[in-house]
């Protein structure tokens, strides 16, 4: 049952709208009063063709054409064709009279309010009067007989355009004043349909008059092309209607949802401007849980029946003003209008959850049709369809991740925001720019490597190609006989001197100001708009001897505008894209190059680097590490790869294969964040591990928390029994360091010894460092567990 048409209610308080009605009626009366006064004298002389047209106009308007899928306000009135033809042939008075009778009949037939019918009569009268003025400016009466010239055609075309402009302009203005919204957006929305429907009827009028010239019997034949126009319009609108519907459920599809949201956004924007309380629009995105399991287990036929049942439940929850659409698969969307805030949107979502909570019976099986719902609100969460849809999608996945049923969009849950996409683009740029130019790379034997060997392999040289091809293409290095050459040699051989040379020209920092650890990009180094990737190194110290036995390589990126980017956010942004591959290659190259520099300078350190899940799945990292070890002349035992337990859970077979290949190369494998993952004992038994790293979350609290201390001691004992080295992360005070020594931990890493620092600063730190050996005292006693 169709809802009551709101256009039949007259808001007397809306002065502009009432003024438009009165003004249109007054203008119509003034423009047509003379022609109507002369009409009685003309009636006896009007031909049969006129009376046939008049009857057809009234009869056709008694049943106007309503396109399928549209409201009755989009009805097409055939009387337009006949009354415009009467205007061309017999003048303004007869045309206005016939149009008024047709509008009255149509108003009674469609249940229009009296004031609305009067406005429609005045509206058509104004349009006919304006067209009549244009025709009078032309060569003369169109139905006077004789041949028609180009001036007649131009005059009729101009009158047609004026009629359409006046009529459509009055209707659009009335709707704007009555219901609000932007005038042009409302006018533009219905303009294509009106041009097609009403324009076709107006252009058919000259043909009708021409036929009446020959014989009145030809006038009824116009019903044939008129019916053809109706039929074409109906087929067109039916196709458009079908294209906007989901074929399975009959619900509006994504295309119809977009149009509905776009229209409602304009309406609610006007309400926001007027500070109305019901100015909120909610977009609810619904995704069914475990629907794929139904399709896989019972077949798509049962899945389709489930979707039809879900559709019926969703439609039953909503009132007549809201719209529910199917986006595809098991995704539905609801557009809720006229809300006062997020609470009403949540209430609607809870009603949907309640409706879907009851199991659906399918062939004797009870199927769960529950789902997750994400809510995005206009204008808080977006002001257009694309933004609202994306934010509702983010909220829906947030609900799934939290094992909840309803979630409202929150910016902190948006892991793919425009800001993060921009960050990902900048990361790609800095990685594609490559490492800073002009660096000298030395192999493990101390010899300087050619630039082409230090960089990626020559793309023009095939893998394993003959050596003579590379020798023939190697450019001869230019000779430098200046004193600068000797200075570079001395500076490169002395790390302390090199560090001093880099900072000699830098302006002195004010006293008490921390000196930035990252050197700003200079000319020829990367892209100044995105900064430069830098590797920091944190020492790992053997607890018994106090000797530095290794470092952990940590990624740092100081962005020119964003500052220091959080490493966890950086990895999270890159890990699901191909940028992770570029990032891993850059890290491996930088770390092994730095190991070669340290080896050439006589510093023998082991470096540990972290790899992501994506790296372990592809297996490319094993080939890259083997290639770089050979190129830089680094012993494999100088490199250690750290993996997390979480990385093992996604695809254990492929991960284990990559780890095994690395182990066969001679690279040590360390299990990072030990104790925070899953199936730790199983991994310790199956993996070719050399080391486990106790997570900092346990180490930080072991000095004060008996539970943390017991967990750390248990992990150390377990790893020791399996012959694994134990590294404790997060050692930030002396008491924790002594407790770890008492527990038998092998290596400590944390701010108690040193913070992460660039390679140059680490060289200086190593030159000043003196080993510190712990002594067992009373403060090394493990905290006792309190009685519970």
Q: Which residues pair with 245 in a beta bridge?
A: 252
- Exposure string for 165-188, b = 16+ CB within 10 A, e = fewer: ebbbebbbbbbbbbebbeeebbbe
Q: Which of 88, 303, 84 is nearest to 102 (CA)?
A: 84
387 CB neighbour count, 10 Å cutoff: 16
List, as one string, the DSSP characters of 674-699.
Answer: ETSSS-HHHHHHHS--SEEEE-HHHH
CA max distance for the chain: 127
Task: Dig out the tokens for 508 from the structure.
Answer: 């002195």
Task: Dig out the tokens for 20 from the structure.
Answer: 């438009």
Distance of CA 760 to the CA centre of its chain: 42
Task: Dig out the tokens for 507 from the structure.
Answer: 């302006």
Which residues, 6+ apart, have CB-to-CB distance to 696 below 8 Å? 729, 730, 750
Q: Which residue is it, tokens 């045309």? A: 95
Distances (CA, A) of 759 to 261, 536, 591: 55, 7, 10
- Exposure string for 645-663, b = 16+ CB within 10 A, e = fewer: bebbeeeeeebbebbebbb
Q: Which of 747, 732, 736 is nearest to 783 (CA)?
A: 736
Cβ atoms 712, 743 nearer than 8 A: yes
**What 3-state class would DSSP assign to 711?**
helix
- 6 vs 739: CA distance, rounded Å: 79
98 CB neighbour count, 10 Å cutoff: 25
DSSP class of residue 525 equals S
Q: How deeply is 4 buried, as exposed, middle or buried, from its count of CB atoms within 10 A (0-12, 13-18, 19+)?
A: exposed
365 CB neighbour count, 10 Å cutoff: 12
Distances (CA, A) of 268 to 8, 24, 183, 262: 22, 29, 14, 10
Q: Specify whether 729 is catalytic.
A: yes
Cis omega (within 30 of 0) for bond into 379:
yes
Q: How deeply is 12 buried, as exposed, middle or buried, from its count of CB atoms within 10 A (0-12, 13-18, 19+)?
A: exposed
Cβ atoms 602, 592 nearer than 8 A: no
User: Which pairs from 649-654 meet CB under 8 Å and 24+ separation?
Assistant: 649/677, 649/678, 650/613, 650/617, 651/617, 654/616, 654/617, 654/619
**What 3-state class would DSSP assign to 449?**
strand
Q: How many CA atoms lie within 13 A of 548 on its CB side?
A: 22
Q: Which helix (H) or strand (E) holds 539?
A: strand 532-542
- 584 vs 568: CA distance, rounded Å: 15
Q: How deeply is 571 buried, as exposed, middle or buried, from its count of CB atoms within 10 A (0-12, 13-18, 19+)?
A: middle
- 588 vs 625: CA distance, rounded Å: 7
Would you tell me the crossing angle of helices 734-743 and 706-721 to the nearest 10 degrees? 40
- 285 vs 334: CA distance, rounded Å: 7
38 CB neighbour count, 10 Å cutoff: 12
- Exposure string for 532-553, b = 16+ CB within 10 A, e = fewer: bbbbbbbbbbbbeeeebbbbbb
Say which of 358, 380, 729, 760 is annotated catalytic. 729
Report, as residue numbers or ranges, the catalytic residues.
729
């Amino acid at each position: 049952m169709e809802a009551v048409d709101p256009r039949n209610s007259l808001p007397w308080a809306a002065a502009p709208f009432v003024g438009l009605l009165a003004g249109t009626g007054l203008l119509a009366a003034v423009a047509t009063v003379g022609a109507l006064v002369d009409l009685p004298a003309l009636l006896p002389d009007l031909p049969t063709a006129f009376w046939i047209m008049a009857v057809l106009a009234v009869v056709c308007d008694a049943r106007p054409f309503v396109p399928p899928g549209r409201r009755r306000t989009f009805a097409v009135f055939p009387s337009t064709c006949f009354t415009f033809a009467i205007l061309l042939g017999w003048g303004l008075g007869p045309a206005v009279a016939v149009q008024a009778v047709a509008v009255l009949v149509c108003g009674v037939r469609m249940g229009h309010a009296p004031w609305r019918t009067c406005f429609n009569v005045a509206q058509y009268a104004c349009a006919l009067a304006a067209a009549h003025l244009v025709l009078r400016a032309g060569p003369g009466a169109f139905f006077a007989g004789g041949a028609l010239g180009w001036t007649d055609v131009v005059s009729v075309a101009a009158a047609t355009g004026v009629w359409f402009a006046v009529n459509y302009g009055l209707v659009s203005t009335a709707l704007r004043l009555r219901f609000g919204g932007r005038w042009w957006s409302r006018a533009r929305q219905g303009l294509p349909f009106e041009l097609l429907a009403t324009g076709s009827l107006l252009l058919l009028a000259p043909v009708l008059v021409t036929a009446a010239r020959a014989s009145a019997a030809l006038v009824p034949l116009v019903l044939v092309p008129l019916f053809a126009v109706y039929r074409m319009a109906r087929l067109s609108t039916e196709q458009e209607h079908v294209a906007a519907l989901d074929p399975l459920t009959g619900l509006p599809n994504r295309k119809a949802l977009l149009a509905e949201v776009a229209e409602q956004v304009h309406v609610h924007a006007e309400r926001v401007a007027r500070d109305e309380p019901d100015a909120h629009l909610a977009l609810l995105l619904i995704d069914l849980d475990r629907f794929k399991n139904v399709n896989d287990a019972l077949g798509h036929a049962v899945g389709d029946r489930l979707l039809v049942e879900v559709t019926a439940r969703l439609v039953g929850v909503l009132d007549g003003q809201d719209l529910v659409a199917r986006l595809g698969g098991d995704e539905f969307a609801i557009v809720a209008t006229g809300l006062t805030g997020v609470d009403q949107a949540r209430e609607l979502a809870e009603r949907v959850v309640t409706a879907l909570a009851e199991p659906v019976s399918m062939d004797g099986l009870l199927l769960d049709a529950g789902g997750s719902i994400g809510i995005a609100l206009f204008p808080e969460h977006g002001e257009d369809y694309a933004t609202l849809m994306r934010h509702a999608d983010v909220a829906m996945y947030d609900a799934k991740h939290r094992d909840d049923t309803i979630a409202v969009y929150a910016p902190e849950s948006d892991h793919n925001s425009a800001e993060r996409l921009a960050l990902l683009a900048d990361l790609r740029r800095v990685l594609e720019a490559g490492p800073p130019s002009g660096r000298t790379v030395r192999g493990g034997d101390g010899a300087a490597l050619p630039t082409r060997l230090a960089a990626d392999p020559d793309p023009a040289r095939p893998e394993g190609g003959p050596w003579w091809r590379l020798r023939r293409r190697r450019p001869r290095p230019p000779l430098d006989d200046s004193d600068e050459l000797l200075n570079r040699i001395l500076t490169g051989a002395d790390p302390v001197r090199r560090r001093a040379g880099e900072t000699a020209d830098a302006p002195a920092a004010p006293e008490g100001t921390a000196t930035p650890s990252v050197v700003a990009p200079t000319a020829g180094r990367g892209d100044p708009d995105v900064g430069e990737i830098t590797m920091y190194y944190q020492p790992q110290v053997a607890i018994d001897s106090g000797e530095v036995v290794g470092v952990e390589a940590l990624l740092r990126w100081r962005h020119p505008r964003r500052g220091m980017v959080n490493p966890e956010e950086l990895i999270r942004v890159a890990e699901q894209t191909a940028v992770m591959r570029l990032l891993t290659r850059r890290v491996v190259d930088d770390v092994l190059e730095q190991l070669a520099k340290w080896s050439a300078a006589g510093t023998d350190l082991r470096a540990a680097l972290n790899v992501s899940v994506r790296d372990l799945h592809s297996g490319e990292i094993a080939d890259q590490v083997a290639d770089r070890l050979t190129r830089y002349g680094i012993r494999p035992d100088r490199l250690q790869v750290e993996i997390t337990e979480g990385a093992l859970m996604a695809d254990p077979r492929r991960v284990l294969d990559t780890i095994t290949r690395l182990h066969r190369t001679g690279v040590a494998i360390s299990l990072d964040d030990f104790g925070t993952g899953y199936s730790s004992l199983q991994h310790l038994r199956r993996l070719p591990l050399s080391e486990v790293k106790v997570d900092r979350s346990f180490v930080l609290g072991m000095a004060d928390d008996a539970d943390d201390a017991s967990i750390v001691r248990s992990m150390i004992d377990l790893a020791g029994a399996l012959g694994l080295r134990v590294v404790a992360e997060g050692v930030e005070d002396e008491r924790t360091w002594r407790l770890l020594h008492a527990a038998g931990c092998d290596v400590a890493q944390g701010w108690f010894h040193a913070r992460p620092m660039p390679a140059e600063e680490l060289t200086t730190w190593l030159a000043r460092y003196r080993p510190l050996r712990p002594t067992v005292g009373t403060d090394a006693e493990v905290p006792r567990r309190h009685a519970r």
